Amino acid sequence: SQTIHQWPATLVQPVGSPLSLECTVEGTSNPNLYWYRQAAGRGLQLLFYSVGIGQISSEVPQNLSASRPQDRQFILSSKKLLLSDSGFYLCAWTTQGVEAFFGQGTRLTVV
């Protein structure tokens, strides 16, 4: 069966520090991969999606970047975190079906 791993679960980082969040999918090949962010008390916003290795599309301009070095690995990064980057980050995947499956999320607090 397919599973998605996302880590770390929680992270507290100072302003100006770098960020790397990782997501891996098991049990499927060539998935579409997504990074969403949920700000406190708000809905989810799509940040990036990828339809293949090295293919990244950004939905909103921001302080973050994404990379897909392997078929089932998706990484969210920042060179210098801002306070406004705090939130709950969710990785998701889809394949032939229309529904998305989500990881457990990373709660990032920038202090």
Asked if residue 20 lies in contact with residue 75, where contact means CB atoms within 8 angstroms, the answer is yes
Beta carbon nearer to other proteins, 23 or 75? 23
Beta carbon nearer to other proteins, 13 or 45? 45
User: What is the Cα–Cα distance from 36 to 65, expressed in whole angstroms?
Assistant: 12
- Residues 29/96/46/26 CA torsion (nearest 10 deg): -30
By CB under 8 A, name the binding residues for other proteins: 6, 32, 34, 36, 42-46, 49, 51, 57, 59, 90, 92, 94, 98-105, 107
Minimum distance from residue 75 beta carbon to other proteins (Å): 18
